């Protein structure tokens, strides 16, 4: 190809429009301010219940991740190719995809924050104090089909307790839900609760325990495919009409109270799974002191992850069309798969991406949430910089967010900058102001302007 053709091709490629992967997003300053508002609210509530911060690597060994989320979860793991010439000694014709993957990919992006937590606790068990209460706020990745409320990269805000069987943890998490959503102004939501042993007892009653895992996956799709869709899939699995009816009869949602728990208990078989489920749910009801506003017992809640073993929780907004915005449950056997037996755990996770979408739709963010700067110094000449910088530093030391406009542009341009950033106050510094040790203070919301003594500037904004 002639040189000039190569040059044209290179220039064309360099001018191509940049993009980001589907299911990921950029977050500009205004969006980040709102996301930080959610994160900070959740973090403060977590801390008020005694949880400590933790971070783990973005990537984990695939051996850590695989097999922890069920067959469907394994298909959603983002795998990372080994570095270097990883195919050099491999004849791909001799391998199928399952046997080839370990040879070319040893690591994957984390799917959630719970499995990495279990791995961390096992690796640091001699340093960890039990019960171990940690919160963690980091991104996770899932190779899912992007759609509203479902992304390939998204943040989770987890809190977990490892090393205790006490149902006080479940009660605390329900209280955390109430506090977080109350502080965010999101008052239209449902806390849905179920128990994996209750699901097992229902499947036992239908005499189809051999299909338990598959049935939980089907049940977990009830909000998407409806009860008719669930029944059709149960029939396709091989259940007869009587068996599917038994399962469907116990999948309704109802208030979480003593009367409904008693009715469910009468409908269950006399098995260990039934006894354990009802014992836990009744004890949780007592720990909540019958204060179960927003709480519903939902028999269709399955959360189709293999590691849940006890109570499972989910929060769903009721005033907008959106899936769950938080969920979790007890997972007694999770650390055991890494070699540490007998450690019970329970945790919840807030999905801030979905919470953001809900709050945006309901207009729940505070109006001052994007005010990054309180005061802008507008300098009319070079000498005004030297005059303004110590004043700006003093304001910052007193907790007042302050900028100095970096150029001696026309005042209109500087004020336009301030308005574009929602800055409320402009301090105008020119020759007369410096000569008289007075500053022109302009309220950019009202347009009012006044002169203020240089020494009174910090006190003025502290009073505000």
* pLDDT tens-place string over residues 338-395: 888 889 889 999 989 889 989 999 999 987 666 789 999 999 999 999 999 999 999 9
Check: CB of residue 250 under 8 Å from CB of residue 202. yes
Q: Does residue 311 form part of some domain?
A: yes
Structural domain of 254: 29-82+98-362
Position 437 scores a pLDDT of 92
Q: pTM for the complete prediction?
A: 0.84
In sequence order, which residues have a C-beta less than 8 Å from that of residue 382 and are 6 or more positions away? 408
Do 279 and 397 lie in one domain? The reply is no
Domain boundary among 362, 390, 419: 362
Do 281 and 402 lie in one domain? The reply is no
CB 177: neighbour CB atoms within 10 A?
23
Q: Does residue 21 form part of some domain?
A: no
Position 22 scores a pLDDT of 92
Domain boundary among 321, 341, 362: 362
Q: Does residue 429 form part of some domain?
A: yes
Number of domains, the chain = 2
Q: Does residue 288 form part of some domain?
A: yes
In sequence order, which residues have a C-beta less than 8 Å from that of residue 455 and are 6 or more positions away? 437
Do 381 and 358 lie in one domain? The reply is no
Is the pLDDT at 91 greater than 70, yes or no? no
Q: Does residue 11 form part of some domain?
A: no
pLDDT tens for 214-252 read 888 888 888 788 888 888 989 999 899 899 888 888 778
Do 338 and 414 lie in one domain? The reply is no
Do 128 and 149 lie in one domain? The reply is yes
3-class SS of residue 379: strand
Do 218 and 323 lie in one domain? The reply is yes
Q: List, in sequence order, every residue forming a beta bridge with 136; answer none if it has no partner.
A: 158
Q: What is the CATH number of the domain that holds 164?
A: 3.30.930.10
Give the separation between CA 214 and CA 210, rounded to whole angstroms: 9
């Amino acid at each position: 190809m002639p040189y000039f053709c190569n040059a044209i091709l290179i220039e064309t490629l360099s001018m191509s429009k940049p993009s980001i992967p589907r299911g990921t997003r950029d977050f500009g300053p205004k969006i980040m301010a709102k996301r930080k508002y959610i994160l900070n609210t959740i973090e403060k509530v977590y801390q008020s219940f005694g949880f400590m911060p933790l971070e783990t690597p973005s990537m984990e060994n695939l051996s850590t991740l695989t097999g922890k989320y069920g067959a469907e979860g394994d298909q959603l793991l983002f795998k990372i190719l080994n570095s270097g010439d990883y195919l050099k000694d491999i004849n791909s014709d001799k391998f199928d995809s399952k046997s080839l993957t370990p040879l070319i990919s040893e690591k994957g992006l984390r799917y959630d924050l719970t499995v990495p937590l279990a791995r961390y606790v096992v690796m640091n068990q001699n340093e960890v104090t039990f019960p171990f209460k940690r919160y963690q706020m980091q991104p996770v990745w899932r190779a899912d089909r992007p759609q509203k409320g479902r992304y390939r990269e998204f943040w989770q805000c987890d809190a977990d307790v490892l090393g205790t069987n006490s149902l006080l943890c479940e009660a605390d998490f329900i209280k955390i839900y109430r506090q977080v959503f109350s502080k965010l102004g999101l008052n239209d939501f449902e806390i849905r609760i179920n128990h994996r042993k209750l699901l097992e007892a229902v499947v036992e009653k239908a005499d189809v325990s051999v299909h338990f895992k598959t049935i939980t996956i089907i049940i977990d799709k009830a909000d998407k495919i409806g009860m008719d869709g669930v029944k059709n899939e149960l029939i396709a699995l091989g259940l007869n009409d009587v068996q599917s009816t038994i399962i469907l009869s116990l999948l309704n949602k109802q208030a979480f109270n003593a009367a409904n728990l008693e009715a469910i208990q009468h409908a269950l078989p006399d098995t260990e799974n039934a006894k354990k489920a009802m014992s836990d749910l009744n004890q949780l009801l007592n720990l909540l002191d019958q204060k179960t506003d927003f709480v519903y017992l939902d028999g269709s809640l399955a959360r189709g992850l293999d590691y849940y073993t006890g109570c499972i929780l989910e929060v769903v907004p009721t005033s907008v069309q959106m899936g769950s915005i938080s969920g979790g449950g007890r997972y007694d056997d999770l650390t055991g798969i890494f070699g540490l037996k007998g450690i019970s755990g329970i945790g919840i996770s807030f999905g801030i991406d979905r919470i953001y979408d809900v709050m945006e739709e309901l207009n729940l963010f505070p109006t001052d949430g994007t005010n990054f700067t309180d005061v802008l110094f507008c300098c009319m000449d070079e000498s005004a910089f030297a005059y303004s910088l110590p004043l700006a530093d003093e304001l910052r030391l007193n907790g007042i967010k302050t900028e100095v406009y970096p150029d001696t542009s026309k005042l209109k341009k500087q004020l336009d900058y301030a308005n574009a950033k929602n800055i409320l106050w402009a301090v105008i510094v020119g020759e007369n102001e410096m000569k008289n040790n007075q500053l022109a203070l302009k309220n950019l919301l009202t347009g009012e302007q006044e002169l203020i003594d240089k020494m009174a500037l910090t006190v003025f904004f502290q009073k505000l």
